[in-house]
Amino acid sequence: MPFTLVAFHAHPDDESLLMGGTIARAAAEGHRVVVVTATDGAAGLASASMGEREELGRRRLEELERAATALGAARVVHLGYPDGGLPSVGLEEAVAALGTVLDQEAADVLTGYDPSGGYGHPDHVQVHRIARAAAAREKSLVLLETTVDRALVVAGARVVHAIPGGPPVDLELMRASYLPRSEITHRVPVSRYVDAKVRGLSEHASQRTGGSGFRTVSMLCGLPRPLARLVLGREWFREVGREPGAGPIEDIFATCREVTRP
């Protein structure tokens, strides 16, 4: 039975970074996937060649459209809120805007972020709040909070921190970011879809340069394929209202199937 997934994110490229493999897997398995971005990412780091804020926002939305196509998503929706200013938007207004998409799509599963917004970005934290509030109004909607296994984040940060000349790493921030393994309900295997995820990431060209010189998108796109499958072959979620079981669930539609099973 096909289901509809609405993947709600703060900025263009978040969809590919955090759950590109899951989007590609769901689409390949015949489900409808709709990507919703709260902002256009106009305040993001980028090379000066990408233009001023308005031009950068336009570019990033175009990149998102191409990335969504690469991942197999059926539709992209931009809610139109300011990058970096999402917390200033009234919660009720944002919930209503997201709710319109959920109603249009008769969504079965919605994704948001964990309470810290992953690493604490204010827009990400607000996406968490918006998704929680929207899901509370739709009793049959399954809410999955996109996250990463904190133990793996900290281990990776320690390795990067130890590399001479590597980018600065805030280990204390990493220790409070994302979710501990004990709170994660879903660990989705997506190694078969890593190539699609990398194609999605590659479409976000504006995010491969600028800033301090180290860019996550560029680094992930440059990984040799065997290493890419190791690093990017799993994605993590917490299902709100579901206690972690004996082992992580591999299917984001597991609860939907339980409800619809004869």
What confidence tens digit (pLDDT) does each residue in 144-181 have?
Answer: 999 999 999 999 888 877 877 667 788 889 999 999 99
> Position 258: which residue type?
E
pLDDT digit string, tens, across residues 100-137: 999 999 999 999 999 999 999 999 999 999 999 999 99
Q: What is the CA 31 to chain-centroid distance, rounded?
A: 18
Contact predicate 143/132, CB 8 Å: yes
Share of the chain above pLDDT 70, in %: 93
Helices (H), the chain: 14-28, 53-71, 91-105, 122-137, 150-162, 171-175, 194-202, 216-221, 225-232, 254-260
What does the alpha-carbon distance between residue 252 and residue 109 come to, in Å, rounded to a whole number? Answer: 8
pLDDT at 51: 58
pLDDT at 46: 60
What does the alpha-carbon distance between residue 14 and residue 136 come to, in Å, rounded to a whole number? Answer: 23
User: Mean pLDDT over residues 199-225, rounded?
Assistant: 85
Which of the two residues, 17 and 211, has the higher pLDDT score? 17
Residues 6+ apart with CB under 8 A from 101: 6, 34, 36, 77, 107
Model confidence at 86, pLDDT cuts 50, 70, 90, reads very high
| Structural tokens at position 114 | 């964990």
DSSP code of residue 182: G
pLDDT at 158: 87
pLDDT at 179: 97
Q: pTM for this one?
A: 0.93
Share of the chain above pLDDT 90, in %: 78
Beta bridge partner(s), residue 161 = none
| Domains defined along the chain, listed by start | 4-260 (3.40.50.10320)
Query: Residue 224: pLDDT above 70?
Result: yes
User: Average model confidence (pLDDT) for the chain?
Assistant: 92
Q: Alpha-carbon dihedral of residues 18, 132, 122, 250, nearest 10 degrees?
A: -20
Residues 6+ apart with CB under 8 A from 52: none
What does the alpha-carbon distance between residue 249 and residue 72 come to, in Å, rounded to a whole number? Answer: 23
pLDDT at 253: 98
Query: Residue 47: pLDDT above 70?
Result: no
